[in-house]
Amino acid sequence: MNHARSHAAFARAKELIPGGVNSPARAFGGVGGEPLFFARGEGAYLFDLDGNRYLDYIGSWGPMILGHCHPAVTAALHAVVDRGTSFGAPTEAESELAQLIIEAVPSVEKVRLVNSGTEATMSAIRLARGFTKRDVIVKFAGNYHGHVDSLLVAAGSAAATLAVPNSPGVTPGTAQDTLILQYNDCTGLEAAFAKHGDRIAGVILEPVVGNMGTVIPTREFLTALRSLTTKHGAVLIFDEVMTGFRVAFGGAQSVFGITPDLTTMGKIVGGGLPVGAYGGRRDIMNHILPAGPVFQAGTLSGNPLATAAGIATLKVLRDENPYPKLEQLGAQLAAGLAEAATKAGVPHSVTRVGSMLTLFFNAVPVVDWSSASQSDTARFAKFFWGLIERGVYFPCSQYEALFISAAHTPDDIRTTIAAATAALQG
């Protein structure tokens, strides 16, 4: 494939933007080479500046569950854009989107709209601390909750050791009240609460991890989380920015039957526009200003464009219910990738929940960051570029989930499996 125009666009971008990208996830750092620059999307496809077409399994890192340029979403945006894009004042659309979220996610009794997943998690953590009047937040290695200072941290020397910063610009003081544990480790979780239980304000986790590849929680782990947080008066926060309306209409919490106290959302909630939301128990949410004392604000929160796209997307998901189709396509792709890797003699494991999955170049079952980090990233990089040359666009890192949209077809999945088979054998 010719990528000359992408190369030229990247050269220009590097002169204007740090690293040439506005998010490191786009930089191809995990696969080498230069990122592709795209001109448009349509349904299940992306088209780059050089006119190459790709089956898209990124979907803007999750939001495009209906595919690109879905007519209901584009019509909603066209209808609102001529009336104004931001007022800095309330609109009825904000309440309509909030109601759709509350109806879909039973644990959410009230919801606040923000502008990104990072804002949602940052706000939920502040709210948990304000509500409990405690300081410590527990997170899990390999879970990503946005670029919040207190969560950009690495584990200490033991499971119950407070964290240290792993990004310049994050001060030790900011990170000192964050506790890092291993995902799916019930023993470590119990030890942390035994030692710090009266200081723990909340626990935040991805109920299906997407940021070290797709990693699935055990029933024992989720049950322990709910039991321990309840026992010690801590707030259980599900970060469903990625999984909300993705793995099911009610999110991962509806799949596993666990009720968190707070839920953060983003991506699909905005139908592809910048948006975030956090919601949960009424008594906790009523602590947010102006109902309560915990400050959070945003000039563009709930703006007409984002709410219009979000309302349109959630209504299509509710009324057309693409989830059985997404489950079938996900199962078809997972089985095909596993078979292709087996035929090629490549050590692997595949993890999947609904339309979200990862092919790990790793024979060890992936249950946490320790096991995920054993993956053969060089082998993945070769596989990634093999797919690119065959018109398939996978995430540019072994440690990112891929996403299927309702615009994909069984034929698209078969085409992808054939491309993966050739790439693995090449």
Whether 115 has a pLDDT exceeding 60, the answer reads yes
Side by side, the strands of the sheet bearing 235-239 are 110-114, 276-280, 262-266, 235-239, 200-205, 136-140, 178-181
Q: What's the pLDDT score for residue 161?
A: 40
CATH code linked to domain 71-320: 3.40.640.10
Average pLDDT over residues 81-90: 94
Quote the mean pLDDT of the chain: 94
pLDDT band for position 170 (cuts 50, 70, 90): confident
pLDDT band for position 311 (cuts 50, 70, 90): very high
pLDDT band for position 245 (cuts 50, 70, 90): very high
CATH code linked to domain 4-65+322-425: 3.90.1150.10
Q: What's the pLDDT score for residue 162?
A: 47
CA angle 152, 154, 155 (to 5 degrees): 140
pLDDT band for position 173 (cuts 50, 70, 90): confident
pLDDT band for position 154 (cuts 50, 70, 90): low
Instruction: Kindly report, as residue ranges, where domains of CATH 3.40.640.10 are found in the chain.
Output: 71-320
Q: What's the pLDDT score for residue 176?
A: 83
Give the contacts of 261 (CB within 8 A, at least 6 positions apart). Answer: 107, 128, 202, 229, 235, 236, 237, 280, 281, 284
pLDDT band for position 156 (cuts 50, 70, 90): very low
Q: What's the pLDDT score for residue 155?
A: 43
Percent of the chain's residues with pLDDT above 70: 97
Average pLDDT over residues 353-372: 95
Residue that is written with structure tokens 């109806």 in the block: 103
Q: Which residues pair with 41 in a beta bridge?
A: 46
Three-class SS of the chain:
CCCHHHHHHHHHHHHHCHHHCCCHHHCCCCCCCCCCCEEEEEECEEEECCCCEEEECCCCCCCCCCCECCHHHHHHHHHHHCCCCCCCCCCHHHHHHHHHHHHHCCCCCEEEEECCHHHHHHHHHHHHHHHHCCCEEEEECCCCCCCCHHHCEECCCCCCCECEECCCCCCHHHHCCEEEECCCCHHHHHHHHHHHCCCEEEEEECCCECECECECCCHHHHHHHHHHHHHHCCEEEEECCCCECCCECCCHHHHHCCCCCEEEEEHHHHCCCCCEEEEECHHHHCCECCCCCECCCCCCCCCHHHHHHHHHHHHHHHHHCCHHHHHHHHHHHHHHHHHHHHHCCCCCEEEEECCEEEEECCCCCCCCHHHHCCCCHHHHHHHHHHHHCCCEECCCCCCCCEECCCCCCHHHHHHHHHHHHHHHHC
Q: What's the pLDDT score for residue 236?
A: 98
**Cα(422)–Cα(426) distance, rounded to whole angstroms?**
6
Q: What's the pLDDT score for residue 70?
A: 98
Q: Which residues are catalytic?
A: 144, 239, 267
More confident residue, 10 or 426: 10
Q: What's the pLDDT score for residue 164?
A: 57
Whether 79 has a pLDDT exceeding 80, the answer reads yes
Q: What's the pLDDT score for residue 1?
A: 87
Instruction: Kindly report, as residue ranges, where domains of CATH 3.90.1150.10 are found in the chain.
Output: 4-65+322-425
**What values do phi and psi take at 204, rounded to 5?**
-115, 135
Whether 163 has a pLDDT exceeding 70, the answer reads no
Q: What's the pLDDT score for residue 167?
A: 73
Take residue 351 and report the two structure tokens written for it.
């993890």
**Cα(164)–Cα(174) distance, rounded to whole angstroms?**
9
Average pLDDT over residues 388-410: 97
Instruction: List pLDDT tens digits, range 119-147.
Output: 999 999 999 999 999 999 999 999 999 88
Whether 99 has a pLDDT exceeding 50, the answer reads yes
Average pLDDT over residues 49-54: 98
Whether 353 has a pLDDT exceeding 90, the answer reads yes
Among 26-40, 106-120, 139-153, 365-379, the range scoring the smallest mean pLDDT is 139-153
Of 160, 162, 210, the C-alpha closest to 185 is 160
Among 16-30, 105-119, 241-255, 262-276, the range scoring the smallest mean pLDDT is 16-30
Percent of the chain's residues with pLDDT above 90: 90
Whether 19 has a pLDDT exceeding 90, the answer reads yes
Instruction: List pLDDT tens digits, range 276-296.
Output: 999 999 999 999 999 999 999
